[in-house]
Protein backbone atom coordinates (compact mmCIF):
# COMPACT_ATOMS: atom_id res chain seq x y z
CA UNK A 1 0.00 0.00 0.00
CA UNK A 2 1.37 3.36 -0.91
CA UNK A 3 2.35 5.46 2.05
CA UNK A 4 -0.18 7.88 3.39
CA UNK A 5 -0.40 10.02 6.47
CA UNK A 6 -2.20 7.16 8.18
CA UNK A 7 -0.08 4.25 6.98
CA UNK A 8 3.46 5.61 7.27
CA UNK A 9 3.64 4.74 10.95
CA UNK A 10 3.63 1.27 12.48
CA UNK A 11 0.06 1.60 13.73
CA UNK A 12 -2.92 2.66 11.62
CA UNK A 13 -5.13 4.78 13.86
CA UNK A 14 -7.88 5.58 11.38
CA UNK A 15 -11.18 3.88 12.11
CA UNK A 16 -14.35 3.92 10.06
CA UNK A 17 -14.15 7.61 9.17
CA UNK A 18 -13.59 8.23 5.43
CA UNK A 19 -10.01 8.74 4.24
CA UNK A 20 -9.30 12.33 3.09
CA UNK A 21 -8.51 12.70 -0.61
CA UNK A 22 -4.97 13.91 0.16
CA UNK A 23 -4.14 10.56 1.78
CA UNK A 24 -5.65 8.38 -0.93
CA UNK A 25 -2.49 7.60 -2.88
CA UNK A 26 -2.68 3.78 -3.20
CA UNK A 27 -2.37 1.94 -6.52
CA UNK A 28 -4.83 -0.57 -7.97
CA UNK A 29 -2.00 -3.04 -8.66
CA UNK A 30 -1.53 -3.42 -4.91
CA UNK A 31 -4.85 -5.26 -4.81
CA UNK A 32 -3.28 -8.20 -6.66
CA UNK A 33 -1.12 -9.46 -3.74
CA UNK A 34 -3.97 -8.65 -1.37
CA UNK A 35 -6.25 -11.22 -2.99
CA UNK A 36 -3.40 -13.65 -3.55
CA UNK A 37 -2.78 -13.65 0.20
CA UNK A 38 -6.51 -13.99 0.91
CA UNK A 39 -6.44 -17.38 -0.80
CA UNK A 40 -3.21 -18.96 0.47
CA UNK A 41 -5.04 -21.79 2.18
CA UNK A 42 -4.55 -25.56 2.13
CA UNK A 43 -8.32 -25.77 2.48
CA UNK A 44 -8.44 -25.17 -1.27
CA UNK A 45 -6.62 -28.49 -1.66
CA UNK A 46 -9.23 -30.30 0.39
CA UNK A 47 -12.05 -28.58 -1.52
CA UNK A 48 -10.39 -29.60 -4.79
CA UNK A 49 -10.27 -33.16 -3.50
CA UNK A 50 -13.96 -32.93 -2.60
CA UNK A 51 -14.76 -32.16 -6.24
CA UNK A 52 -13.40 -35.60 -7.17
CA UNK A 53 -14.40 -37.66 -4.13
CA UNK A 54 -17.74 -36.17 -3.05
CA UNK A 55 -18.94 -34.46 -6.27
CA UNK A 56 -17.57 -37.22 -8.58
CA UNK A 57 -16.16 -34.73 -11.11
CA UNK A 58 -13.35 -35.56 -13.53
CA UNK A 59 -10.22 -33.48 -14.08
CA UNK A 60 -11.61 -31.30 -16.87
CA UNK A 61 -14.74 -30.52 -14.91
CA UNK A 62 -12.52 -29.54 -11.97
CA UNK A 63 -10.68 -27.17 -14.34
CA UNK A 64 -13.97 -25.47 -15.24
CA UNK A 65 -14.89 -25.16 -11.56
CA UNK A 66 -11.47 -23.79 -10.62
CA UNK A 67 -11.68 -21.10 -13.32
CA UNK A 68 -15.33 -20.13 -12.93
CA UNK A 69 -15.40 -19.89 -9.12
CA UNK A 70 -12.86 -17.04 -8.69
CA UNK A 71 -14.20 -15.20 -11.74
CA UNK A 72 -17.70 -15.17 -10.26
CA UNK A 73 -16.87 -14.50 -6.62
CA UNK A 74 -13.91 -12.15 -7.00
CA UNK A 75 -15.60 -10.38 -9.88
CA UNK A 76 -18.18 -9.39 -7.27
CA UNK A 77 -15.38 -8.56 -4.81
CA UNK A 78 -13.92 -6.17 -7.36
CA UNK A 79 -17.25 -4.58 -8.24
CA UNK A 80 -18.15 -3.89 -4.62
CA UNK A 81 -14.59 -2.66 -4.06
CA UNK A 82 -15.40 0.26 -6.38
CA UNK A 83 -17.53 1.67 -3.55
CA UNK A 84 -14.41 1.92 -1.39
CA UNK A 85 -12.64 4.28 -3.75
CA UNK A 86 -15.83 6.29 -4.17
CA UNK A 87 -16.53 6.75 -0.47
CA UNK A 88 -13.10 6.23 1.11
CA UNK A 89 -14.62 4.22 3.98
CA UNK A 90 -14.89 0.54 5.00
CA UNK A 91 -17.68 -1.53 3.51
CA UNK A 92 -19.85 -1.74 6.60
CA UNK A 93 -19.54 2.02 7.15
CA UNK A 94 -20.62 2.72 3.55
CA UNK A 95 -23.48 0.32 4.18
CA UNK A 96 -25.01 2.93 6.50
CA UNK A 97 -25.86 5.01 3.43
CA UNK A 98 -27.90 2.08 2.10
CA UNK A 99 -29.61 0.61 5.18
CA UNK A 100 -29.73 3.65 7.46
CA UNK A 101 -27.82 4.19 10.67
CA UNK A 102 -29.93 1.73 12.64
CA UNK A 103 -30.92 -0.52 9.77
CA UNK A 104 -27.25 -1.24 9.09
CA UNK A 105 -27.02 -2.98 12.48
CA UNK A 106 -29.07 -5.90 11.11
CA UNK A 107 -26.81 -7.09 8.25
CA UNK A 108 -23.76 -5.81 10.14
CA UNK A 109 -24.45 -8.06 13.12
CA UNK A 110 -25.05 -11.12 10.93
CA UNK A 111 -21.90 -10.52 8.88
CA UNK A 112 -19.87 -9.96 12.05
CA UNK A 113 -21.07 -13.26 13.55
CA UNK A 114 -20.44 -15.09 10.25
CA UNK A 115 -16.90 -13.73 10.27
CA UNK A 116 -16.34 -15.36 13.66
CA UNK A 117 -16.80 -18.71 11.98
CA UNK A 118 -14.49 -17.88 9.07
CA UNK A 119 -11.76 -16.71 11.43
CA UNK A 120 -12.20 -19.80 13.59
CA UNK A 121 -11.79 -22.10 10.57
CA UNK A 122 -8.60 -20.28 9.56
CA UNK A 123 -7.19 -20.33 13.07
CA UNK A 124 -7.82 -24.06 13.37
CA UNK A 125 -6.18 -24.74 10.00
CA UNK A 126 -3.14 -22.68 10.98
CA UNK A 127 -2.84 -24.52 14.29
CA UNK A 128 -3.04 -27.86 12.46
CA UNK A 129 -0.19 -26.72 10.20
CA UNK A 130 2.00 -26.00 13.24
CA UNK A 131 1.13 -29.35 14.82
CA UNK A 132 1.95 -31.19 11.59
CA UNK A 133 5.36 -29.52 11.27
CA UNK A 134 6.17 -30.35 14.91
CA UNK A 135 5.25 -33.98 14.26
CA UNK A 136 7.27 -34.24 11.04
CA UNK A 137 10.42 -32.53 12.30
CA UNK A 138 10.52 -33.49 15.98
CA UNK A 139 8.10 -36.38 16.39
CA UNK A 140 5.98 -34.33 18.83
CA UNK A 141 2.48 -35.79 18.81
CA UNK A 142 -0.69 -33.79 19.17
CA UNK A 143 -2.30 -33.51 22.60
CA UNK A 144 -4.91 -31.20 24.11
CA UNK A 145 -2.37 -28.92 25.77
CA UNK A 146 -0.38 -28.53 22.57
CA UNK A 147 -3.57 -27.83 20.63
CA UNK A 148 -4.42 -24.91 22.90
CA UNK A 149 -0.87 -23.54 22.87
CA UNK A 150 -0.52 -23.59 19.06
CA UNK A 151 -3.98 -22.11 18.62
CA UNK A 152 -3.18 -19.34 21.10
CA UNK A 153 0.11 -18.49 19.36
CA UNK A 154 -1.64 -18.38 16.00
CA UNK A 155 -4.39 -16.06 17.21
CA UNK A 156 -1.91 -13.75 18.98
CA UNK A 157 0.19 -13.47 15.81
CA UNK A 158 -2.93 -12.76 13.77
CA UNK A 159 -4.01 -10.05 16.20
CA UNK A 160 -0.56 -8.42 16.05
CA UNK A 161 -0.65 -8.08 12.24
CA UNK A 162 -4.28 -6.99 11.95
CA UNK A 163 -3.97 -4.66 14.92
CA UNK A 164 -1.12 -2.74 13.28
CA UNK A 165 -3.36 -1.96 10.31
CA UNK A 166 -3.36 -1.74 6.54
CA UNK A 167 0.33 -1.04 6.04
CA UNK A 168 1.42 -4.13 7.99
CA UNK A 169 -1.19 -6.30 6.29
CA UNK A 170 -0.22 -5.19 2.79
CA UNK A 171 3.52 -5.58 3.35
CA UNK A 172 3.04 -9.11 4.68
CA UNK A 173 0.77 -9.93 1.72
CA UNK A 174 3.42 -8.83 -0.76
CA UNK A 175 6.20 -11.03 0.62
CA UNK A 176 3.88 -13.99 1.22
CA UNK A 177 2.84 -13.86 -2.44
CA UNK A 178 6.44 -14.36 -3.58
CA UNK A 179 7.13 -17.20 -1.14
CA UNK A 180 3.91 -19.01 -1.89
CA UNK A 181 4.53 -18.77 -5.62
CA UNK A 182 7.98 -20.37 -5.36
CA UNK A 183 6.88 -23.32 -3.25
CA UNK A 184 3.65 -23.87 -5.20
CA UNK A 185 5.80 -24.32 -8.32
CA UNK A 186 7.83 -26.97 -6.47
CA UNK A 187 4.68 -28.84 -5.49
CA UNK A 188 3.35 -28.62 -9.04
CA UNK A 189 6.60 -30.03 -10.45
CA UNK A 190 6.50 -32.88 -7.95
CA UNK A 191 2.91 -33.71 -8.85
CA UNK A 192 3.62 -33.60 -12.57
CA UNK A 193 6.47 -36.09 -12.18
CA UNK A 194 4.91 -38.37 -9.52
CA UNK A 195 1.25 -38.56 -10.58
CA UNK A 196 -0.28 -41.43 -12.56
CA UNK A 197 -1.85 -39.16 -15.16
CA UNK A 198 -3.57 -41.99 -17.04
CA UNK A 199 -5.60 -42.65 -13.90
CA UNK A 200 -6.35 -38.95 -13.51
CA UNK A 201 -7.59 -38.50 -17.07
CA UNK A 202 -9.67 -41.67 -17.08
CA UNK A 203 -11.93 -40.53 -14.25
CA UNK A 204 -15.56 -40.57 -15.46
CA UNK A 205 -17.39 -37.25 -15.75
CA UNK A 206 -19.86 -36.24 -13.06
CA UNK A 207 -23.23 -34.54 -13.43
CA UNK A 208 -23.58 -30.95 -14.56
CA UNK A 209 -25.57 -30.13 -11.44
CA UNK A 210 -22.73 -31.20 -9.18
CA UNK A 211 -20.26 -29.23 -11.28
CA UNK A 212 -22.34 -26.08 -10.79
CA UNK A 213 -22.67 -26.90 -7.10
CA UNK A 214 -18.87 -27.27 -6.96
CA UNK A 215 -18.49 -23.78 -8.39
CA UNK A 216 -20.75 -22.53 -5.62
CA UNK A 217 -18.73 -24.33 -2.96
CA UNK A 218 -15.40 -22.87 -4.11
CA UNK A 219 -16.93 -19.44 -4.77
CA UNK A 220 -18.40 -19.24 -1.27
CA UNK A 221 -14.98 -18.40 0.15
CA UNK A 222 -14.70 -15.43 -2.19
CA UNK A 223 -18.26 -14.30 -1.48
CA UNK A 224 -17.31 -13.94 2.19
CA UNK A 225 -14.80 -11.22 1.22
CA UNK A 226 -17.29 -9.10 -0.74
CA UNK A 227 -18.53 -6.89 2.15
CA UNK A 228 -14.92 -6.22 3.20
CA UNK A 229 -13.66 -5.37 -0.28
CA UNK A 230 -14.04 -1.57 0.19
CA UNK A 231 -11.82 -1.86 3.30
CA UNK A 232 -8.88 -2.51 0.96
CA UNK A 233 -9.77 0.03 -1.72
CA UNK A 234 -10.58 3.06 0.43
CA UNK A 235 -7.03 4.42 0.11
CA UNK A 236 -7.38 4.48 -3.69
CA UNK A 237 -7.98 7.91 -5.28
CA UNK A 238 -11.44 8.59 -6.68
CA UNK A 239 -9.95 8.53 -10.18
CA UNK A 240 -8.62 4.96 -9.83
CA UNK A 241 -9.71 2.64 -12.64
CA UNK A 242 -12.80 0.58 -11.80
CA UNK A 243 -11.76 -2.00 -14.40
CA UNK A 244 -8.34 -2.35 -12.76
CA UNK A 245 -9.95 -2.96 -9.37
CA UNK A 246 -12.01 -5.83 -10.79
CA UNK A 247 -9.13 -7.18 -12.88
CA UNK A 248 -6.65 -7.30 -10.00
CA UNK A 249 -9.23 -8.84 -7.67
CA UNK A 250 -9.98 -11.70 -10.07
CA UNK A 251 -6.35 -12.12 -11.10
CA UNK A 252 -4.95 -12.24 -7.59
CA UNK A 253 -7.48 -14.82 -6.45
CA UNK A 254 -7.47 -16.86 -9.64
CA UNK A 255 -3.72 -17.34 -9.75
CA UNK A 256 -4.00 -19.17 -6.42
CA UNK A 257 -7.41 -20.85 -6.62
CA UNK A 258 -6.84 -22.50 -10.00
CA UNK A 259 -3.62 -24.43 -9.21
CA UNK A 260 -4.59 -25.19 -5.60
CA UNK A 261 -7.98 -26.68 -6.50
CA UNK A 262 -6.46 -28.69 -9.35
CA UNK A 263 -3.64 -29.96 -7.10
CA UNK A 264 -6.26 -31.15 -4.62
CA UNK A 265 -8.24 -32.84 -7.39
CA UNK A 266 -5.12 -34.64 -8.66
CA UNK A 267 -4.03 -35.70 -5.15
CA UNK A 268 -7.48 -37.12 -4.44
CA UNK A 269 -7.21 -39.66 -7.27
CA UNK A 270 -4.54 -41.56 -5.31
CA UNK A 271 -5.43 -40.27 -1.81
CA UNK A 272 -9.24 -39.99 -1.60
CA UNK A 273 -9.10 -39.63 2.21
CA UNK A 274 -7.81 -36.10 1.60
CA UNK A 275 -11.40 -34.92 1.02
CA UNK A 276 -12.61 -35.98 4.47
CA UNK A 277 -9.52 -35.68 6.66
CA UNK A 278 -10.32 -34.77 10.27
CA UNK A 279 -7.06 -32.81 10.23
CA UNK A 280 -7.10 -30.88 6.92
CA UNK A 281 -3.34 -30.40 6.58
CA UNK A 282 -1.55 -33.41 8.10
CA UNK A 283 -1.97 -35.42 4.90
CA UNK A 284 0.64 -33.22 3.22
CA UNK A 285 3.30 -34.66 5.50
CA UNK A 286 2.51 -38.15 4.19
CA UNK A 287 1.82 -37.25 0.57
CA UNK A 288 4.78 -34.95 -0.14
CA UNK A 289 8.49 -35.55 0.43
CA UNK A 290 9.88 -33.91 3.56
CA UNK A 291 11.87 -31.25 1.69
CA UNK A 292 8.68 -29.95 0.09
CA UNK A 293 6.11 -30.68 2.80
CA UNK A 294 7.76 -28.73 5.63
CA UNK A 295 8.41 -25.42 3.82
CA UNK A 296 5.05 -25.66 2.06
CA UNK A 297 3.24 -26.11 5.37
CA UNK A 298 5.14 -23.16 6.81
CA UNK A 299 4.10 -21.01 3.86
CA UNK A 300 0.54 -22.24 4.26
CA UNK A 301 0.77 -21.22 7.90
CA UNK A 302 1.81 -17.73 6.85
CA UNK A 303 -1.13 -17.70 4.43
CA UNK A 304 -3.56 -18.62 7.19
CA UNK A 305 -2.11 -15.86 9.35
CA UNK A 306 -2.64 -13.30 6.61
CA UNK A 307 -6.15 -14.47 5.75
CA UNK A 308 -7.13 -14.16 9.38
CA UNK A 309 -5.32 -10.84 9.73
CA UNK A 310 -7.29 -9.44 6.78
CA UNK A 311 -10.53 -10.80 8.18
CA UNK A 312 -9.91 -9.42 11.67
CA UNK A 313 -8.80 -6.08 10.21
CA UNK A 314 -12.21 -5.77 8.58
CA UNK A 315 -14.02 -7.22 11.58
CA UNK A 316 -12.64 -4.37 13.67
CA UNK A 317 -14.43 -1.89 11.39
CA UNK A 318 -17.64 -3.93 11.59
CA UNK A 319 -17.48 -3.89 15.37
CA UNK A 320 -17.09 -0.10 15.29
CA UNK A 321 -20.11 0.31 13.00
CA UNK A 322 -22.10 -1.79 15.47
CA UNK A 323 -21.39 0.77 18.19
CA UNK A 324 -18.26 -0.48 19.96
CA UNK A 325 -16.65 2.77 21.11
CA UNK A 326 -13.05 1.55 21.05
CA UNK A 327 -10.08 2.16 18.72
CA UNK A 328 -9.93 -0.10 15.67
CA UNK A 329 -7.02 -2.20 16.96
CA UNK A 330 -8.90 -2.96 20.18
CA UNK A 331 -12.06 -3.77 18.26
CA UNK A 332 -9.97 -6.42 16.47
CA UNK A 333 -9.22 -8.09 19.82
CA UNK A 334 -12.90 -9.02 20.23
CA UNK A 335 -12.78 -11.28 17.19
CA UNK A 336 -9.39 -12.65 18.24
CA UNK A 337 -10.81 -13.84 21.55
CA UNK A 338 -13.88 -15.35 19.90
CA UNK A 339 -11.83 -17.27 17.32
CA UNK A 340 -9.63 -18.63 20.12
CA UNK A 341 -12.62 -19.98 22.06
CA UNK A 342 -14.47 -21.41 19.06
CA UNK A 343 -11.24 -22.80 17.60
CA UNK A 344 -10.49 -24.75 20.76
CA UNK A 345 -14.00 -26.22 20.69
CA UNK A 346 -13.66 -27.23 17.02
CA UNK A 347 -10.23 -28.84 17.46
CA UNK A 348 -11.04 -30.68 20.67
CA UNK A 349 -14.65 -31.68 20.04
CA UNK A 350 -15.54 -31.69 16.34
CA UNK A 351 -15.18 -35.08 14.63
CA UNK A 352 -15.43 -34.00 11.01
CA UNK A 353 -13.54 -30.84 10.14
CA UNK A 354 -14.34 -30.83 6.43
CA UNK A 355 -18.00 -31.66 7.01
CA UNK A 356 -18.30 -28.72 9.40
CA UNK A 357 -16.37 -26.47 7.01
CA UNK A 358 -18.51 -27.22 3.94
CA UNK A 359 -21.72 -26.83 5.95
CA UNK A 360 -20.48 -23.52 7.29
CA UNK A 361 -19.51 -22.26 3.82
CA UNK A 362 -22.95 -22.93 2.37
CA UNK A 363 -24.72 -20.96 5.09
CA UNK A 364 -22.03 -18.26 5.14
CA UNK A 365 -22.52 -17.58 1.43
CA UNK A 366 -26.24 -16.93 1.95
CA UNK A 367 -25.62 -14.65 4.96
CA UNK A 368 -23.19 -12.47 3.01
CA UNK A 369 -25.15 -12.58 -0.25
CA UNK A 370 -28.22 -10.84 1.19
CA UNK A 371 -26.09 -7.78 1.91
CA UNK A 372 -24.33 -8.07 -1.46
CA UNK A 373 -27.62 -7.99 -3.38
CA UNK A 374 -28.89 -4.83 -1.70
CA UNK A 375 -25.58 -2.98 -1.56
CA UNK A 376 -24.69 -3.92 -5.13
CA UNK A 377 -28.08 -2.79 -6.47
CA UNK A 378 -27.68 0.50 -4.63
CA UNK A 379 -24.33 1.09 -6.37
CA UNK A 380 -26.04 1.22 -9.76
CA UNK A 381 -27.91 4.38 -8.81
CA UNK A 382 -25.83 5.96 -6.04
CA UNK A 383 -23.32 8.52 -7.28
CA UNK A 384 -21.53 9.39 -4.05
CA UNK A 385 -21.30 8.87 -0.28
CA UNK A 386 -21.53 11.75 2.17
CA UNK A 387 -18.57 11.54 4.56
CA UNK A 388 -20.19 13.52 7.36
CA UNK A 389 -23.47 11.60 7.16
CA UNK A 390 -21.65 8.24 7.32
CA UNK A 391 -20.14 8.92 10.74
CA UNK A 392 -23.09 10.89 12.14
CA UNK A 393 -25.22 8.30 13.98
CA UNK A 394 -27.72 10.82 15.34
CA UNK A 395 -31.12 11.80 13.97
CA UNK A 396 -29.48 14.71 12.16
CA UNK A 397 -27.65 12.33 9.79
CA UNK A 398 -28.73 12.42 6.16
CA UNK A 399 -28.63 8.61 6.38
CA UNK A 400 -31.09 8.41 9.27
CA UNK A 401 -34.05 7.99 6.91
CA UNK A 402 -37.16 6.70 8.78
CA UNK A 403 -36.34 6.09 12.42
CA UNK A 404 -32.80 5.18 11.44
CA UNK A 405 -33.91 2.61 8.84
CA UNK A 406 -34.20 2.50 5.07
CA UNK A 407 -37.35 0.34 4.73
CA UNK A 408 -36.55 -0.68 1.15
CA UNK A 409 -33.07 -1.95 2.04
CA UNK A 410 -34.09 -3.76 5.22
CA UNK A 411 -37.11 -5.45 3.62
CA UNK A 412 -35.14 -6.50 0.52
CA UNK A 413 -32.30 -7.83 2.69
CA UNK A 414 -34.59 -9.84 4.97
CA UNK A 415 -36.70 -11.35 2.17
CA UNK A 416 -33.59 -12.15 0.10
CA UNK A 417 -32.04 -13.92 3.09
CA UNK A 418 -35.17 -16.01 3.67
CA UNK A 419 -35.48 -16.86 -0.04
CA UNK A 420 -31.87 -18.02 -0.19
CA UNK A 421 -32.21 -20.23 2.88
CA UNK A 422 -35.29 -21.89 1.38
CA UNK A 423 -33.08 -23.22 -1.45
CA UNK A 424 -29.98 -24.02 0.64
CA UNK A 425 -28.96 -27.46 1.87
CA UNK A 426 -26.10 -28.37 4.21
CA UNK A 427 -25.29 -30.82 6.99
CA UNK A 428 -26.53 -28.23 9.49
CA UNK A 429 -29.65 -26.99 7.73
CA UNK A 430 -31.82 -27.81 4.73
CA UNK A 431 -34.46 -25.46 3.39
CA UNK A 432 -37.86 -26.84 2.34
CA UNK A 433 -37.17 -25.99 -1.33
CA UNK A 434 -33.58 -27.32 -1.39
CA UNK A 435 -34.49 -30.53 -3.23
CA UNK A 436 -36.40 -31.57 -6.32
CA UNK A 437 -35.80 -28.32 -8.17
CA UNK A 438 -33.14 -26.78 -10.37
CA UNK A 439 -31.96 -24.12 -7.90
CA UNK A 440 -31.62 -26.46 -4.93
CA UNK A 441 -30.06 -29.26 -6.97
CA UNK A 442 -27.40 -26.91 -8.34
CA UNK A 443 -26.58 -25.40 -4.93
CA UNK A 444 -27.66 -21.91 -6.01
CA UNK A 445 -29.22 -20.71 -2.77
CA UNK A 446 -26.68 -17.90 -2.47
CA UNK A 447 -27.38 -16.78 -6.04
CA UNK A 448 -31.11 -16.71 -5.27
CA UNK A 449 -30.30 -14.50 -2.29
CA UNK A 450 -28.39 -11.94 -4.36
CA UNK A 451 -30.99 -11.82 -7.13
CA UNK A 452 -34.04 -11.58 -4.87
CA UNK A 453 -32.58 -8.98 -2.51
CA UNK A 454 -31.14 -6.91 -5.37
CA UNK A 455 -34.29 -6.87 -7.49
CA UNK A 456 -36.52 -6.11 -4.52
CA UNK A 457 -34.34 -3.18 -3.54
CA UNK A 458 -34.46 -1.77 -7.06
CA UNK A 459 -38.26 -1.85 -7.26
CA UNK A 460 -39.14 -0.75 -3.71
CA UNK A 461 -39.52 3.00 -3.05
CA UNK A 462 -36.38 4.42 -1.42
CA UNK A 463 -35.76 7.48 0.76
CA UNK A 464 -34.66 10.57 -1.13
CA UNK A 465 -30.93 11.30 -1.16
CA UNK A 466 -30.52 14.77 0.37
CA UNK A 467 -26.71 14.80 0.28
CA UNK A 468 -24.49 16.59 -2.21
CA UNK A 469 -21.52 15.15 -4.06
CA UNK A 470 -18.10 16.38 -2.89
CA UNK A 471 -16.85 16.45 -6.46
CA UNK A 472 -18.92 16.78 -9.63
CA UNK A 473 -16.44 14.64 -11.60
CA UNK A 474 -16.92 11.79 -9.15
CA UNK A 475 -20.69 11.98 -9.31
CA UNK A 476 -20.58 11.51 -13.05
CA UNK A 477 -18.43 8.39 -12.90
CA UNK A 478 -20.13 5.31 -14.36
CA UNK A 479 -20.13 1.94 -12.63
CA UNK A 480 -19.24 0.02 -15.78
CA UNK A 481 -15.89 -1.72 -15.79
| Most confidently predicted of 142-146, 442-446, 468-472 | 142-146
Q: What are the tens digits of pLDDT across the range 24-82?
A: 999 999 999 999 988 887 778 888 888 988 889 999 999 999 999 999 999 999 999 99
Least trusted range by pLDDT, from 1-5, 337-341, 438-442:
1-5
pLDDT for residue 4: 44
| pTM confidence score | 0.85
* Dist CA 449 CA 338 (whole Å): 28
**pLDDT score of 277 more than 70:** no
- Within a 10 A sphere around the Cβ of 419, how many other Cβ atoms? 23
* Dist CA 124 CA 121 (whole Å): 5
pLDDT for residue 373: 95
> Across the strands, what pairs with 402?
405
- Taking alpha carbons only, the member of 336, 309, 325, 295 closest to residue 185 is 295
**pLDDT score of 349 more than 80:** no
When the candidates are 1.10.4160.10, 3.30.450.20, 3.40.50.9100, 2.40.50.100, the CATH number that belongs to 22-97+110-359 is 1.10.4160.10
Residue 137 CB partners (closer than 8 Å, separation 6+)? 294
* Dist CA 386 CA 330 (whole Å): 26
Q: What are the tens digits of pLDDT across the range 427-468?
A: 667 778 877 766 766 677 888 999 999 999 999 998 877 777
Q: What are the tens digits of pLDDT across the range 160-182?
A: 777 777 777 877 777 777 777 77
Amino acid sequence: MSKTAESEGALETRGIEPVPDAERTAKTRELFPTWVAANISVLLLTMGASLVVAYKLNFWQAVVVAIAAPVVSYGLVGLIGIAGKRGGAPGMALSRAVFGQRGNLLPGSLIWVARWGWETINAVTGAYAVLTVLDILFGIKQNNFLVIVTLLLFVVATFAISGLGINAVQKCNKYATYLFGVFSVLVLIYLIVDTDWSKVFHQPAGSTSLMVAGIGMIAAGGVSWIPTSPDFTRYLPRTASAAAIVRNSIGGAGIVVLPMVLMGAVMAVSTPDLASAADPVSFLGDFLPLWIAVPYLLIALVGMLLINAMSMYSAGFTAQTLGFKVPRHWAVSINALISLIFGAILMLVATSFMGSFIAFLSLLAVAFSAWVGVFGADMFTRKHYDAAALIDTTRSSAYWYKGGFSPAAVIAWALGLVAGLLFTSSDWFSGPLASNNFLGEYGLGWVVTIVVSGLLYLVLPKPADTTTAPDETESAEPLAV
